[in-house]
Structure 1
Amino acid sequence: MTSSSALDTTDGRTTRWAGHRQRRRREFVDAALRAVAEHGPEVSVEQIADQAGVARTRLYKHFTDAADLHTAVADRVTELIHAELAPVWNPQGTPLQMIRAAIGAHIGWLSDHGNLHRYLTSHAATTQHGHSAVNGVKTAIAEHLTALFRTYSAGLRAETTAAEPLAFGIVGLVETSTTRWLESPAGMPRDELTDLLTDWVWRLLDDTLRSAGATLDPDQPVPTHPRP
């Protein structure tokens, strides 16, 4: 009969080995991110392996195939985007300040990590849950904005049925405009694009609220509780 101490030793080794494999897999994913940044969205598995300092065959000991690697990269990029977009998840200040901070963060990430964004798009990369990485992030932002709009609309006693289409429309506007700007800047500085989109988004929000019988001062903090 196997002793409990032998079982404990085996379980301990298994746990340590699993932890080692997980760390190595994470290191290879980070190497893939660096390779994408250096070589662009059409980066090859060989270039990723070179960046990691290992042979391609060694890389595949930690990933089933290229698709598994793309999925792991998509998961990691999604984590990074969520971390970078703190102004979206935790808005502070006046309406204009919140809008500008959120748009600035989004434009900033896309501008600073254009190759990663194009990599996800060109490979139609999916996360481990089987969802499109790019669409998943946009949906998460839009759903969060929907909840914010509903909360603030309640504070203004305004109708909230337009909250969801407004949120998804705003995310689409910012994403599409920024992606096009990255492909063809046409001499427009990033701050100017941020100001332009901030103005457009505020006009959309202001018009939607006015249609619901509410007004909002763009330079004053937003009420989050219904007025008495």
Structure 2
Amino acid sequence: MPISTRRSRPDGRATRWAGQHERRRAEFVDAALAAIAEHGPEVSTEQIAQQAGVARTRLYKHFGSASDLQRAVSQRVTELLTEEFAPVWHPQGSPMRMITMAVETHLRWLTEHTHLYRYLLRCSPVAETTGTGSFTNIKTTLGRHLTRLFTEYLLAFELDPSPAETTAFGLVGYVESAGTRWLDNPAGISREALVEQLTGAIWTILDHVLRSGGVELDPHRSLPLPDDLTRNGCGDAARQS
């Protein structure tokens, strides 16, 4: 009996269902974000379902559990926060201006989305058991972006790039920890004053890394992008200054 070589066609119904499923998940995540903003970090699944205009059981047709929904919310926030930080990943201006922009962006997000931030922190035990979700993967995403940026600058200055990752993740943790404490206890410190304080401390750390390799930069002087430094030989000049 001859064997048919005709390929089976994809099931159109399955494709449509998959697309509809993802759209509904996205809609429920949007509803969760709105419910968190309204009800705070202690928001219940029932309140999220009410925001979405469905019964709670309908949510669980698209999310395997409350933890699954929390991970989906965390993933969406990671995407939104990465977009918020877009100017930071393509820096312009002086080192102090670059650092200030990054810190301002982070603290502004914390103050404008305090309920959401506390919700993600509240869900941290979920992340500890799975290694994903909550605020953990957000910090990881920010740390990886900064690692790439620091690595490019260190290489442009012909320095050892190995400190890039520990420095990047350490700074993300420093700003996040300081920002959290400030939210809990402002102690009369304005957001602007905190930005200035953190910016100065971060520059001290970065300056130490650079000086260890013989590079001295004016923190208030415009710093070219890594590719421009390499192309124009500016890295060598900074190293000799």
TM-score, normalised via structure 1 length: 0.86
Q: Which residue of 2 aligns with 1:171?
A: 172
Over residues 108-138 of structure 1, what are the superposed CA-to-partner deviations in whole Å (9 max), with x where a residue is unaligned?
Answer: 1122112112111111254xx8524422222
Structure 1 residues 19 and 161: CA distance shift in structure 2, 3 A: closer
Are 1:85 and 2:94 counterparts? no
- Contact 2:103/2:195 (8 A) holds in 1: yes
Structure 1 residues 60 and 165: CA distance shift in structure 2, 3 A: closer
CA distance in structure 2 between the partners assigned to 1:154 and 1:65 by the alignment: 45
The one-letter code of the counterpart of 2:73 is V
Aligned length: 220
Q: Once structures 1 and 2 are overlaid, which stretch shifts more, 70-79 or 154-163? A: 154-163
Q: Which residue of 1 aligns with 2:94?
A: 94
Q: Which residue of 2 aligns with 1:193?
A: 194
Are 1:227 and 2:226 counterparts? no
Over residues 33-83 of structure 1, what are the superposed CA-to-partner deviations in whole Å (9 max), with x where a residue is unaligned?
Answer: 111111111111111011111111222222222122112112111111111
Structure 1 residues 222 and 73: CA distance shift in structure 2, 3 A: same
CA distance in structure 2 between the partners assigned to 1:28 and 1:206 by the alignment: 45
CA distance in structure 2 between the partners assigned to 1:169 and 1:130 by the alignment: 19
**Shift in Å at residue 179 of structure 1?**
0.7
**Shift in Å at residue 103 of structure 1?**
1.0
Q: Which residue of 2 aligns with 1:48?
A: 48
Q: Once structures 1 and 2 are overlaid, which stretch shifts more, 193-202 or 133-142? A: 133-142
Q: Which residue of 2 aligns with 1:69?
A: 69
Are 1:105 and 2:114 counterparts? no
- Matched position secondary structure for 1:227: helix
TM-score, normalised via structure 2 length: 0.82
**Shift in Å at residue 31 of structure 1?**
0.3
- Contact 1:157/1:214 (8 A) holds in 2: no
Are 1:156 and 2:157 counterparts? yes
- Contact 1:41/1:122 (8 A) holds in 2: yes
Structure 1 residues 144 and 216: CA distance shift in structure 2, 3 A: same
Which ranges in structure 1 are unaligned for 5 or more consecutive residues? 1-6
Structure 1 residues 69 and 132: CA distance shift in structure 2, 3 A: closer
